[in-house]
Structures are given as structure tokens and as C-alpha cells.
Structure 1
């Protein structure tokens, strides 16, 4: 048991003792009645700079969530180390319901296999709800010879083939998406890691690297004729890209990768708070204005129970750990 987990256990024992004392005197625990207090804002921490997908999500739900909770909700950006800095900080935050976090696949399902972390994604957080899902987009240069996935795979299987793919860096979801293609299609596309997605997309548009698995923000470049969209990575066709085939439909059976963002809190956050948050999130994520705002950013609004979200994250962590081991991916 790490230090964070020990502290959480001690805090839970303390809270349980306080709750028992309160109940014995006929008083309901204060946090069940008063959270969130009008004078204390609930912070949604984002591990990336303003402008990205996680930030857009947090800002889309902040005010509607505040209304549902009858409180104040603010967004706080803490960029650094691809989200790891903020993840570690939130793991150590006081579990009182006033610090929430936009969880992403990197910090919760990929990096736990690649690095020794200062947090345990399975033990140092409680899961509130998944919030959005989105496919990655297999895109290529506009004048690329690859007209579809079948053409790309045929070229990759030709004698002497040497086809590169770019990603935003080692351990990103874009690399995982490409290595899943390598595994399932029995090809050997070669990885070219970039330091971020902006220079990567610039080079794909320019033909420096021919393909990448982008997030849905590349849609504007596809619509503008600067990139060609070959497939989406989700198991089923995306409602946002209804005319684009999936990887499975394109000749890669079993291919399934959907990016997601969800809401978590530090372990030890009272169950009453988690349940109240989950109920509020379920109302927020069906609001037309929220759904439209997220769809404009390439995200489909969803909601789940805390258990469903936790089980999903645990399943993906096992899945990507096996792929990382098989592909021999190593952290830089």
C-alpha cells in the first residue's frame, strides 16, 4: 500500500468514526447536507493547456453542472508531462468533493504500464462517470496514394515496404491506435514520434509522414481538403462521421479503439458526493446545448454509473498493457 492509499484509508476511518458519532446523536453527516457549500467552488482540474479537447469538455459542462449542484464550478488548467503532473496532484488532493479531474486514457490506461508513477489509477481515485467518447481518425496526406485502408494495407504488405506513421509522442493514444493496426493486420508500420500533435499534423498535411491516427480535431482539415480520412477507429460507425467506415469494416476485423474523457475524484471522496455528482452529470450530458457544444469539438456526450466507468478503465488498462508488451513500446 502506497502513502496515498494509507492516507486515504486513515481518512476513511476518520470519516466513518465521525459519521457514526453523528448518526448516534441523530444528526446526518454535514457533507451529505451541505455539499457543495455556496462559499466554496468545486474545481474541475484539466491536465492540459486551454484549447484542447479535455479543456473544451470541462468548460462545456462547468456551468450546467454548477446549476444542477446549486453551487459554483470552475475549471483549473494544470498542464505538464502529458497530464501526469495534474493526475499526481489530484491523487493527493483532499477528498472532500471540491477537487475533480478530467481523466484521460494516457494517465489511466497507458502510462501505468510504461512508467513508474507516483499514483495508482486503480486505488487513488474514485470514478464518477464517463463523459464523452470519440473515435480516432486514420488520416493521410491529401495527395496520398492510399485511397482507403485496403490500399494502405496492400502497400504495407508489399515486398520492401517502408511506411511510417506519426504520433504525438511515445505512449499517446495515436501510437496505441497504430500499433493495434500493426498487430491485427500483421503489418509493420514504423513509428515517428513527435513532441505534440501540432507539428505532427503539419507534417502529415505536408506529406513528411504519410499517415497518423488523429483525434477528431482533424475534421476541419479533412473538410478543407488538406487531409484524406480513411476510417474511424471505433467498433461502430461514429454518429459524427456516419459516412466513414470503421477499421473493422475496412478489412481489420476486431479493431476497436475509442478515445474517452471522464470525471474522477480523489479516493476517499464521500460516496454521497460521488452519487450526487453522478446524478447531476447524467442530467448535464443530455442537455442539447452541452451535446451540441461537444459535437462541435468532435465528442459524443455519454454518461455511466461509477462502476461502469471504473470497469471500463480497468478493462482498457489490461488491453493496452498486453498490446504495449507485444509491440515492445518503451517510454522515452
Structure 2
């Protein structure tokens, strides 16, 4: 990660396929019912489902999303990074791309370049705490 310091806006997503209000559970013979989503905000595709944060069921709050990011090696020339950022942002803004992302039960959004480093640091800290609390050790 130390060699991949330059990055550009990434797409954030909340899975809808695992939170559909009436989805068939493979381990059960009856439908499962979702009670909440794990994102920061309600999923536009499932506006009736609150977030876990709204329900206030977990002390200290709870948010879990996943995201995709683009990285380049540290020594990538600035003009190349700027072009990649620009092309990626243009691609993500295209209606056809937005439709394809939503078709995969994802909610597209993009980080601003300056937000990405802050987000990475927060994610690393969160997972470090979870790993530590669970006493997970790498072989």
C-alpha cells in the first residue's frame, strides 16, 4: 500500500441483493425478511428499509459499505494521474454506466479525490480494531 499513494475517486456501493425485503434464503425453506441496510443512508432502491444507524440497535452505531477504488504506483507522473481521474469521473457520470451499476444491485457514488485518502485511513483503522477485538492473527 505504501507504493500506491496516488489514487482517484472511487465508487461506493451498498449491496441491495443481500438486503431485498423478500429474498429466498438458501438455508431456509421460507423467505427471509430484511429489517435494515448497513449503509450510511437509505438505499434508493429500498426506501422502506431503514439503516441500522437509524434503528439505533447497536451501541456506538454501525455502518458497513463496500467500495471500489483505483490506484496507481506512487511515481506515476501527475499528468497521467490527472488524465486517469478525469476519464474515470467521465465514465462514472455516463447514464449507461450508472444504469449498469444499478442493474448489479449497487448504488453508485464517487469520492472526491481529497476524500479518498481520509476514507482509506478510516477503513484501515476500523478493520484494525475489528481484527484486534476478535483476536484474529495472520499465519
TM-score by length of 1: 0.36
Q: Is the 8 A contact 2:12 2:65 kept in 1?
A: no
Q: CA deviation at 1:313?
A: 1.0
The residue number in structure 2 matching 1:107 is: none
Task: State how far apart, in whole Å, the 2-side matches of 1:330 and 1:273 are.
Answer: 39
The residue number in structure 1 matching 2:12 is: 132
The residue number in structure 2 matching 1:317 is: 124
The residue number in structure 2 matching 1:255 is: 62
Rg larger in structure:
1
Structure 2 unaligned residues grouped into runs of 5+: none
Which aligned runs of 4 or more in structure 1 are off by greater than 6 angstroms? 139-143
Indicate how the Cα distance of structure 1 residues 227 and 128 shifts in structure 2: closer, same or farther if over 3 A, else same.
same
The residue number in structure 1 matching 2:40 is: 235
Aligned CA RMSD, in angstroms, stands at 2.9
Indicate how the Cα distance of structure 1 residues 242 and 265 shifts in structure 2: closer, same or farther if over 3 A, else same.
same
Structure 1 unaligned residues grouped into runs of 5+: 1-120, 144-203, 208-224
Indicate how the Cα distance of structure 1 residues 230 and 331 shifts in structure 2: closer, same or farther if over 3 A, else same.
farther
Indicate how the Cα distance of structure 1 residues 140 and 237 shifts in structure 2: closer, same or farther if over 3 A, else same.
closer
Aligned runs of 1:152-191 on 2, under 5 Å? none
Q: CA deviation at 1:278?
A: 1.0
Task: State how far apart, in whole Å, the 2-side matches of 1:206 and 1:292 are.
Answer: 31
Q: CA deviation at 1:236?
A: 1.4
The residue number in structure 2 matching 1:13 is: none
* Other structure's SS at 1:227 match: strand
* Other structure's SS at 1:330 match: coil
Q: CA deviation at 1:325?
A: 0.6
Task: State how far apart, in whole Å, the 1-side matches of 2:93 and 2:116 are.
Answer: 17
More relative contact order in 1 or in 2 (CA 8 Å, sep 6+)? Answer: 2
Q: CA deviation at 1:297?
A: 0.5
* Higher normalized helix content (fraction of residues): 1
Q: Is the 8 A contact 1:129 1:309 kept in 2?
A: yes
Q: CA deviation at 1:304?
A: 2.7
